[in-house]
A and B are shown apart, each in its own frame.
Chain A
Amino acid sequence: MTAAASNPAAAGLALEMRGATVTAMADPGTILLEGVDWSVAPGDFWVVGGLQGSGKTDFLLMTGGLTAPGSGAYHFFGKGMPMFEEHRLGERLQLSMVFDEAKLFNRLTVSENVSLPLRYHRNLTVAGADAEVRPLLDLTELASWADSTPGAMALAWRKRVGLARALMLKPRVLLLDNPLLGLDLRHRGWWLNFLGQLSRGHPWMEGRPTTLVVTTHDFRPWQGVGRQFAVLKDRRFVVLGSWQQVNAAGDERVRELLAVEAGSI
């Protein structure tokens, strides 16, 4: 029986974890988080904080369906999270991911990187996908880099390519691993503004609010942008709530995430 069948409320959730265990991708025997209970409604904007090594990336990889929970349940729009089942590919493409440091294909140009999911899933040539890729490159201010390879670009621009690639198929849920890491103030401002627009309903997403989950090691830039906050500490996923509740939290780990030295991101 699916979660949707057993719990009508679950059918309305974008993501739902119940007692989930997060294991390390490199070593599935290593448990990073236990007993994760988490509900994400469509259109939510979650900011998940944690210090380095707390398991943020592995948590996001599991959320993205790239690893299975060690135990417990994980549902995506009321059904079990699609992993690699061919017949559930359409559901899987409703979720996309922006990786830390972008992880681009260095032999492909920016345009080819961004268009890859579109070309693969709709069987298009590079030229055939161009009409749909150009507006996205303009939107992310990457048009002038279109024919460059990622090796020639600074990290900030590579991260935008990763974002554009993740948005190519207009997913309903977008996961971002530490998107502000290593960015200067100008780029940070652009990202916060753009993600805010996505959360409210960007024209590229046909006005539909995108469900967002970002990880971070510094809560402060997300004030006024993120709507729900959680922290990873002591192998637990702790829901904090709104920004006011984050500020009011007396927890030492949360204070650490609020007091990261300026300039360290």
Chain B
Amino acid sequence: MRVPVPRSCAHYLGRRLFRFLRTVQGLGAFALITLGVMITKCRASSRVIHPLAIHEVSRAGLRLLPMFLFVAAALGLVVIGQAVSWLTRVGAINYLGTIMVIVVVRELGPLIAAMLLLARVGTANVVDLGTARALGEVEVLEALGIDPIHYFVAPRVFGMAVGVFSLTVYLILGAIVSGYLWAFVQEVPLQPAEYFRQLAGALSGLDFALLAVKTGLFGFIIAIVTCYHGLAQPLRLEEVSHATVRAVAQSVIACVLLDAVFIVIYLIF
């Protein structure tokens, strides 16, 4: 005999599912509209939009470099330094390159860069755009015949995609160098040439290509989700904080799901 599900529980689940589907539909539509605007208007009003895009690259890239160097040093200690030390003790130092590439280049580097950018820039996107929306700046742009997606969203998407890619590269390089330094401090008998030879041997052209695609997509997803929650709904100022929380949660989920897709791609190839 089947246990009847409480009506309220079914309602709750149904409502959650419906809301989830509505969000996915909204995000998908917003992403497609943004892509369409970025393609069709890539040269339109370039003297207004390109400086905004450069500003976003600076905001999501250059200005975060000191923080990323610190995180790279920490990542080197946590992952590489300890891995080198333990691999040496069990006599498996030959696997170092493979482990480094899998852990740092393919997984942790892009994911950590994306999460840090979400925290530093993505949340600011929701607050900025939510406030702009609540204060009527979107209506002003529309009244002036300016496409809000072109003016507000396209530069952020470009900046975020470039930012995640660049910072991931810095993070990986920093982590590899600092990891060796930590290993050196622990007096692990590994020459720099051997260390970098192993790393180079474990890397393939596919790693570079997928790293670029993956980090670009992370940046795209984070920018789309945060801009959507800031812009696409009629927000009041008091709703901005809720929108920020929703955007962060959905960005994390979307990035992890995308990461899972790339794991499958790596396994296939």
Partner-B contacts on A (CB < 8 A): 25-26, 61, 64, 66, 84, 89, 92-93, 96-97, 99, 103, 105, 116-117, 119-121, 123-125, 128, 165
Q: Given that A120-B45, A120-B48 are contacting pairs, would A84 and B234 also be in contact in the complex, using a CB cutoff of 8 Å?
A: no
Find out whether the CB atom of B142 lies under 8 angstroms from the CB atom of A66: yes
The CA of A66 and the CA of B144, in the complex, are separated in Å by: 10
- B46 on the A face (CB < 8 A): yes
**Could you name 23 residue pairs across A and B whose Cβ atoms are closer than 8 Å?**
A25-B234, A26-B234, A66-B142, A84-B142, A89-B145, A92-B145, A99-B143, A103-B135, A103-B136, A103-B137, A116-B146, A117-B145, A117-B146, A119-B45, A120-B144, A120-B145, A120-B146, A120-B151, A121-B45, A123-B45, A123-B46, A123-B48, A125-B47
The CA of A96 and the CA of B47, in the complex, are separated in Å by: 23
Q: Can you list, as one digit per residue, whether each of B122-143 has a CB less than 8 Å from chain A (1) or not (0)?
A: 0000000000000111011011
List residues of chain A with CB within 8 A of the CB of B147.
84
Partner-A contacts on B (CB < 8 A): 44-48, 135-137, 139-140, 142-147, 151, 234
The CA of A124 and the CA of B142, in the complex, are separated in Å by: 19
Find out whether the CB atom of B139 lies under 8 angstroms from the CB atom of A61: yes
Find out whether the CB atom of A96 lies under 8 angstroms from the CB atom of B146: no
List residues of chain A with CB within 8 A of the CB of B145.
89, 92-93, 117, 120-121
The CA of A34 and the CA of B46, in the complex, are separated in Å by: 43
The CA of A125 and the CA of B234, in the complex, are separated in Å by: 32
CB of B22 to closest CB in A, whole Å: 17
Q: A119's contact among B47, B140, B143, by CB below 8 Å, is which? A: B47
Closest to A61 in B: B139
The CA of A84 and the CA of B150, in the complex, are separated in Å by: 13
List residues of chain A with CB within 8 A of the CB of B46.
123
List residues of chain A with CB within 8 A of the CB of B47.
119, 123-125, 128
The CA of A165 and the CA of B143, in the complex, are separated in Å by: 11
Q: A64's contact among B45, B137, B143, B151, by CB below 8 Å, is which? A: B143
The CA of A228 and the CA of B146, in the complex, are separated in Å by: 31
The CA of A95 and the CA of B234, in the complex, are separated in Å by: 24
CB of B18 to closest CB in A, whole Å: 19
List residues of chain B with CB within 8 A of the CB of A121.
45, 145
The CA of A64 and the CA of B151, in the complex, are separated in Å by: 20
CB of B113 to closest CB in A, whole Å: 27
List residues of chain A with CB within 8 A of the CB of B142.
66, 84
List residues of chain B with CB within 8 A of the CB of A105.
137, 140
Find out whether the CB atom of B48 lies under 8 angstroms from the CB atom of A103: no
List residues of chain A with CB within 8 A of the CB of B135.
103
List residues of chain A with CB within 8 A of the CB of B44.
123
List residues of chain B with CB within 8 A of the CB of A92.
145
List residues of chain A with CB within 8 A of the CB of B136.
99, 103
Find out whether the CB atom of A165 lies under 8 angstroms from the CB atom of B48: no
Q: B140's contact among A93, A103, A124, by CB below 8 Å, is which? A: A103
Find out whether the CB atom of B140 lies under 8 angstroms from the CB atom of A99: yes
The CA of A27 and the CA of B146, in the complex, are separated in Å by: 23
List residues of chain A with CB within 8 A of the CB of B146.
116-117, 120
Q: Given that A26-B234, A116-B144 are contacting pairs, would A103 and B45 also be in contact in the complex, using a CB cutoff of 8 Å?
A: no
CB of A149 to closest CB in B, whole Å: 14
CB of A63 to closest CB in B, whole Å: 11
The CA of A89 and the CA of B44, in the complex, are separated in Å by: 14
CB of A263 to closest CB in B, whole Å: 27
Q: Which 7 A-B pairs have the closest CB atoms?
A: A117-B144, A97-B143, A103-B136, A120-B45, A103-B140, A125-B47, A120-B48
The CA of A125 and the CA of B52, in the complex, are separated in Å by: 12
List residues of chain A with CB within 8 A of the CB of B143.
64, 66, 96-97, 99
The CA of A123 and the CA of B142, in the complex, are separated in Å by: 17
The CA of A120 and the CA of B140, in the complex, are separated in Å by: 14
List residues of chain B with CB within 8 A of the CB of A123.
44-48
CB of B53 to closest CB in A, whole Å: 14
The CA of A125 and the CA of B145, in the complex, are separated in Å by: 18
Closest to B142 in A: A66
Additional A-B contact list (13), CB under 8 Å, known A66-B143, A123-B46: A61-B139, A64-B143, A66-B142, A89-B145, A99-B136, A103-B136, A103-B139, A105-B140, A117-B145, A117-B146, A120-B145, A123-B45, A124-B47
CB of A22 to closest CB in B, whole Å: 15
CB of A173 to closest CB in B, whole Å: 12
CB of B139 to closest CB in A, whole Å: 6
The CA of A9 and the CA of B142, in the complex, are separated in Å by: 30
CB of A229 to closest CB in B, whole Å: 24
